Structure 1
Amino acid sequence: MLRRALASFLITYFFPFLIFSQEDDKIVQITDDPLVQFQRKETPTNKFNYFLSIENPYAESSAYDWLETLNVYIDSSQKTNDSITVRLYKILNAELYNHLKDYTKSLAVAREVYAQMEGLSEEQQEFLLDVMDRNYQALKMFDKQIEIRTLKQTKGFTNKIKFYDVYAEMGLYRKAMDQYIMDEQGTINESDFLGKAVHRNKIGNYLRLDNSPSTAINEFNKASGFLEVYNSDISSDKTQEALNQSALLGLQIKGNIGKSMVDLGESRDAIPYLQESIEGLKKLDSPEYSEDLIDNALSLAEAHIDLGNVRTAKRLLDSYTELNSLDQEQKRNRLLGNYYDKIENFRSASVFYRRNDKLLDSLRQNEQSILKQQLGVIVGTNDVENQITQMQEQKAELEKMKGEVKNRDERFNLVIISLIFTLLGFAGLIFAYLNSIKNQRLIEKQKFIIEDSLKEKESLLKEIHHRVKNNLQMVSSLLSLQTKNTKNKSAILALEEGKSRVKAMALIHQKLYQNEDLSVIEMQGYIESLINSVQSVYKKGGHNISITIDAEGTELDIDRAIPFGLILNELVSNTFKYAFPKSDENGKIYIHLRKNGNKGGYFEYSDNGVGLPDGLNERTNSSMGIRLINRLVNQLQSTLNIDQNSDGVRFWFNFV
């Protein structure tokens, strides 16, 4: 007790003024240590606010030095029953434990203050909730994290709750990307090219993690373009912090492009990107960037294995053994197994694959167990010592489990060795069998790659058709806006006809991306949808026309479907506009479309209206609709035939 009281006195009153360094027989007082400056602040509130303003509190003193100082302050405040001061110092304690990645202890201290949060200022409450938010995220306690964020919104500390980082931690990368885009939309200034680069890089990373590397590369290239514009802009002053952020972002973007190229199988092109990113991150020499560094190194090793540079890959895998996550450990073990496969050490590869699977399952089960135990400890008690004890027990349990897995593997190796000596006479047969397994595995791997590539290409093709449909709909909307601003009836009619033709083409692309088969369109459903679209435009007077469509089972590719769609659009529009000027009670339209195997097909359209006007041949050159139909029929390598009688008009042609 005496030594602790003496330490408290020295740290609080004496230590800040007696830190000296001897240099050339001169005594120089050190004043730039943030911890010293912290101690010199007069009130606990001033100390708290100063800590929040420090960019790097560990410039001179470590986090453990800070903890020791804060514990002295806490003891001193508890003796004077100054509960507000105790809570302030404990909030800082929780932040320090978070920096040390002791998230369970940090959360235990924070929850102790959280239970008595009333009486703290809004700034202090907000900082406490931020610490708890980060701890819950690190411990993957997402339900509690959501509760804290909801409370922050209720208290007015944030305008909108953001969950995209929670979705990403849960592996829901596409949902995280959609939420991120929605939350950040409109928040980035048009001239903030650095912010745009960060935005595009984050979207690209979500796409990469969601197994869409080709789309991700497009986003990374956009991010790189924005960053280049930002770096080349000499008209505005840039702080050192902004320059550092720009340099780090450039390295991250290059690493992300390299990782995406490896995922696409473009290993040779990926290597320069990954090497440049790794060398730059090494120079930064900060634990904050270690995860990016290891991810890039593992992807670089994968690229070298793919290219047959197995020794280079092995050196990389041996250089990075302190991993940050189970995913990194799994990838490293898989790559080591691939390495042994490449050098035809199949026994080691097989053992390594099985060892990786068993260790990974055990670690995942234990991780879930630890999280459940941590939740019970935090909710059930605020006793820090009990939490430390339980965490130590959990770590011991993990080490014991690893030892058991290692022992089982060693016994397995002994069995393998015994079998090898017993079955030496069958060495040739075993070698042939292992070769067949290897070939089968390679065939299955290539099959999986091909199937995955086909699925991705189909998805991209559907996305293209979807975007074409959206663009055509935008054109249709622009025509509608132009119609509203036009008073000339002839111009309005021309715009309406143009809009109808655009809708016919848009419907083709809509049917394509909705189909399972992207190569053909089922014409019966398309014609029905097209008729409904035309009716919605011309049914102002209440048409009562009977329409018969005979195209069941007929499928056309897009090169023939688009001309057919435009031809039908013109014919049906003309029928609704001109065929029944007086009454359409007995109006009929008949549409017939058939294919004759690979020998072409036959199309027929007829109605029982008033027919075509006299002098059709003379009007053909002046009628936009008839000229368009003739050109479309010529595009189908056919000739339009027109039959007119007392029962209406009939259009027909054969096509190849």
Structure 2
Amino acid sequence: MRTVTILFALLFGGVLHSQDVVSQENDFFKTFKELQGGKERSKFFFETQNRYAKNSAYDWLDSVNVYLNTAQKTNDSLAVVDYQLIQSQIYYDLGDYEKSLAITKSLYDELDRFNLDTKTIILDLMDTNYSKLELYERQFEIRSNKRELGLTENIMFYDIYSNLGQYRKAMKDYIAEQKNLIDESDFYEKAVYNNNVGNYLRLDKSVPTALTYFKKANAFMDVYFNDILEDRSEQELVAAHVLKGKILGNIGKCHVLDKDYKKAIPFLEESVATINEYNKGKFSSDLIENALELAGCYLQLGDYDKVTDYLIQIDEPKKAANIIKKNRISAALYDRTEDYKTANEYLKRNVRIRDSIEENDSKIINQQLTAVLNQNLENSRSMLEKQKLALEKSRIDIIEKDKSISLVFISLVFTLLGFAGLVYAYLKSIKNQRLIAEQKHIIENSLVEKDSLLKEIHHRVKNNLQMVSSLLSLQTKNTRSKAAIAALEEGKSRVKAMALIHQKLYQNDDLSVIEMQGYIESLINSVQSVYKKGGHNINITIDAEGVELDIDRAIPFGLILNELVSNSFKYAFPNDEDNGKIYIHLRKINGQEGFFEYTDNGVGLPEDTEERANSSMGIRLMNRLANQLQTNLNTDRTSDGVRFWFNFK
């Protein structure tokens, strides 16, 4: 039944909206004031998602201040705490993170006297406030406290690593920890997962792959809204609409990175409207960022009235990056409207902001990253130490039980003899353990030295290949023959593909294999930089997550893929179509044969391909590389493109 619902929703997405409209009739503020006591009001406040739909956060704050003063005068200590927590949350919703944090820090000093629910609210508010204020060391301490209280089993770090610029590490940790925890029928969580992975890729400038994840997330949200079999609360629907707005904004940002401003505008405008409607009264960095992107798009398209409208609508940004971006757009707007004095003033503001943060910004980030890594390592050591103590205790308990049994059944003489034997064995064991420890130390040092040497070798090979590429570039500039230039460019592309292999190897912790998803993405970006015509309009899908190959297979594989992608960019889409697609599929299961597939929906291969095979260096090169992989390159020609595939061991 659920499968039918999903198919129906995907086919007619946007038609069913039985749960898509969130009721705006409830007067939450009136209900809040009619409740009695801090506990009831606190419970209602934190369970109400769209609480500022009719009354602003300032209206709520005024009433809460009155209740707080009354509770303080009557010495109602429990109500005082409840109202302080509401106060802190309102300041957070308004974007005043320092005031919000100041309130929770005063409560944190007395954390032991509160029940578990109150502790959870305090720690969650401190966690999010430290994140917004970029105090990641403090955020780590709060998460450690959560684990000690049993509020979370593991401490997650991927969001902290992402905030510190370590997007690939954040994505790797996030996928490892979250992918297997998502229920196949939970479309909301699947949308959250794909949106987060896409955001890490967008921040890492892997735009085509990021866009694929955002589109998956958007499709899951359409299924979520059209699933009429599920009854959802108003709070759940409000959260879902806010997530939908963020996903649409991320799709728009990807189109902005591709400089496709007209395509970006509808997504960004729908995102701003959705977040405004369902996140009403709360400060939202996503809303500010998307509005700034819209202003930037209209600036590029020359619609200065729209630019002015969006700049006026934007609340004062909290992040320095958003402040700088707003000033830059304002300066560009006034420059184009020939108000050079005002434009110069905005540029001076940016200079002052950059001067104040550039000197220490990189240093602070590095310090915080080092601190987080050290605390993470210390946390791992602490857990290992606890496990070691538990194992040692178990071992001691077992030995004690063995001794008790022996004392019952063995005479004093045999006990003494046995004890003497144990002492001898223990001494011998200590000696053997020392020898093993020394040998282990020698082996570990040798392995470290070997890894360092291997990384240095791969680094030098990569540098040498880059030098070869540079020499080919110089030769290209000094060559007038178009055929020779094309041949040199092809050679340079192949050299880059091999250099990228060695670069990935010396950057990996494991020098024996290469993670192919990241390698293929980097290779695609490299080829796109050479063949700009049509390269950025082609939708490229890469399905190689989790596949790792050794260098003997990765080099011929990379060269084959380099040839295929280059041919697609050069020949498959002569008219620079917007609907061009390339699909790359790579799978390898341990102990089984691997499979590679490459397809595009271009013009296809010419009819005399087989006759050209003997004279084309590219085709001969791919066939020889396939032979190195102990396989044959297969070709399927269809009416709407071409498909290459092969199996490999």
1:50 to 1:268, Cα distance in 2 relative to 1, 3 A: closer
Q: Which amino acid aligns with 2:314?
A: Y
Q: Distance in 1 between matches of 2:138 and 2:277?
A: 38
Find the counterpart in structure 2 of residue 211 from structure 1: 205
1:229 to 1:52, Cα distance in 2 relative to 1, 3 A: closer
Find the counterpart in structure 2 of residue 65 from structure 1: 63
Q: Distance in 2 between matches of 1:212 and 1:364?
A: 26
Shift of 1:360: 4.3
Shift of 1:567: 4.7
User: Does residue 149 in structure 1 map to residue 143 in structure 2?
Assistant: yes
Shift of 1:264: 0.8
Shift of 1:186: 1.8
Give the secondary-structure state (helix, strand or coil) at the position aligned to 2:111.
coil
Provide Cα deviations, 1:465-496, integer angstroms capped at 9, x if missing partner. Answer: 996797696xxxxxxxxxxxxxxxxxxxxxxx
Provide Cα deviations, 1:498-535, integer angstroms capped at 9, x if missing partner. Answer: xxxx99765512578999x999xxxxxxxxxxxxxxxx
Find the counterpart in structure 2 of residue 330 from structure 1: 324
Give the secondary-structure state (helix, strand or coil) at the position aligned to 1:140.
coil
Mapping of residues 289-438 of structure 1, within 5 Å = 290-320=284-314, 322-343=316-337, 349=343, 352-362=346-356
Find the counterpart in structure 1 of residue 222 from structure 2: 228
Q: Distance in 2 between matches of 1:465 and 1:222?
A: 12
Mapping of residues 123-134 of structure 1, within 5 Å = 123-134=117-128
Find the counterpart in structure 1 of residue 154 from structure 2: 160
Q: Distance in 2 between matches of 1:205 and 1:365?
A: 28
- Give me the TM-score of the superposition, normalised by structure 2: 0.50
Contact 2:131 2:139 in 1 (8 A): yes
Mapping of residues 255-274 of structure 1, within 5 Å = 255-274=249-268
Contact 1:505 1:566 in 2 (8 A): no
User: Does residue 118 in structure 1 map to residue 178 in structure 2?
Assistant: no
User: What number of residue pairs does the alignment pair up?
Assistant: 392
Provide Cα deviations, 1:252-300, integer angstroms capped at 9, x if missing partner. Answer: 3222222221221111222222233334444447133653333223222
Shift of 1:302: 1.8
1:67 to 1:335, Cα distance in 2 relative to 1, 3 A: same
Q: Distance in 2 between matches of 1:219 and 1:52?
A: 31
1:289 to 1:559, Cα distance in 2 relative to 1, 3 A: farther
Shift of 1:157: 1.0
Shift of 1:158: 0.6
Q: Distance in 2 between matches of 1:92 and 1:250?
A: 27
Shift of 1:367: 11
Q: Which amino acid aligns with 1:560?
A: R
Q: Distance in 2 between matches of 1:351 and 1:31?
A: 44
1:567 to 1:225, Cα distance in 2 relative to 1, 3 A: closer
Provide Cα deviations, 1:209-262, integer angstroms capped at 9, x if missing partner. Answer: 333333222112111222222233333334433443443333332222222212
Give the secondary-structure state (helix, strand or coil) at the position aligned to 2:180.
coil
Find the counterpart in structure 1 of residue 74 from structure 2: 76
Q: Distance in 1 between matches of 2:301 and 2:81?
A: 58
Find the counterpart in structure 1 of residue 524 from structure 2: 460
Q: Which amino acid aligns with 1:508?
A: P
Contact 1:469 1:507 in 2 (8 A): no
Shift of 1:183: 2.9
Q: Which amino acid aligns with 1:70?
A: L
The runs of 5 or more residues in structure 1 that have no matched partner are 1-29, 372-453, 474-501, 520-555, 571-627, 633-656
Q: Distance in 2 between matches of 1:321 and 1:124?
A: 32
1:365 to 1:172, Cα distance in 2 relative to 1, 3 A: same
RMSD of the alignment, in Å?
Answer: 4.8
Find the counterpart in structure 2 of residue 620 from structure 1: none
Mapping of residues 589-628 of structure 1, within 5 Å = none
Q: Distance in 2 between matches of 1:327 and 1:51?
A: 32
1:158 to 1:290, Cα distance in 2 relative to 1, 3 A: closer
Shift of 1:309: 3.1
Contact 2:209 2:541 in 1 (8 A): no
Q: Distance in 2 between matches of 1:343 and 1:65?
A: 46
1:568 to 1:335, Cα distance in 2 relative to 1, 3 A: closer
Q: Distance in 1 between matches of 2:148 and 2:259?
A: 48
Could you tell me which of 178, 182, 205 is aligned with 2:176?
182
Contact 2:289 2:322 in 1 (8 A): yes
Q: Distance in 2 between matches of 1:305 and 1:465?
A: 31
Q: Distance in 2 between matches of 1:100 and 1:303?
A: 27
- Give me the TM-score of the superposition, normalised by structure 1: 0.50
Give the secondary-structure state (helix, strand or coil) at the position aligned to 2:259.
coil
Q: Distance in 1 between matches of 2:353 and 2:226?
A: 49
Find the counterpart in structure 2 of residue 450 from structure 1: none
Give the secondary-structure state (helix, strand or coil) at the position aligned to 1:186.
helix
Could you tell me which of 564, 567, 582 is aligned with 2:624?
564
User: Does residue 107 in structure 1 map to residue 171 in structure 2?
Assistant: no
Shift of 1:37: 4.9
Shift of 1:87: 5.4
Find the counterpart in structure 1 of residue 556 from structure 2: 508
Mapping of residues 507-586 of structure 1, within 5 Å = 508-509=556-557, 559-565=619-625, 567=627
Find the counterpart in structure 1 of residue 512 from structure 2: none
The runs of 5 or more residues in structure 2 that have no matched partner are 1-26, 366-496, 501-519, 528-539, 568-615, 635-649
**Which structure's CA Rg is the greater one?**
1
Shift of 1:343: 4.9
Shift of 1:159: 1.2
Provide Cα deviations, 1:9-47, integer angstroms capped at 9, x if missing partner. Answer: xxxxxxxxxxxxxxxxxxxxx998454454x34xx7667
1:63 to 1:518, Cα distance in 2 relative to 1, 3 A: same
1:459 to 1:317, Cα distance in 2 relative to 1, 3 A: farther
Shift of 1:143: 0.8
Contact 2:272 2:291 in 1 (8 A): yes
Find the counterpart in structure 2 of residue 247 from structure 1: 241
Q: Distance in 1 between matches of 2:557 and 2:618?
A: 8
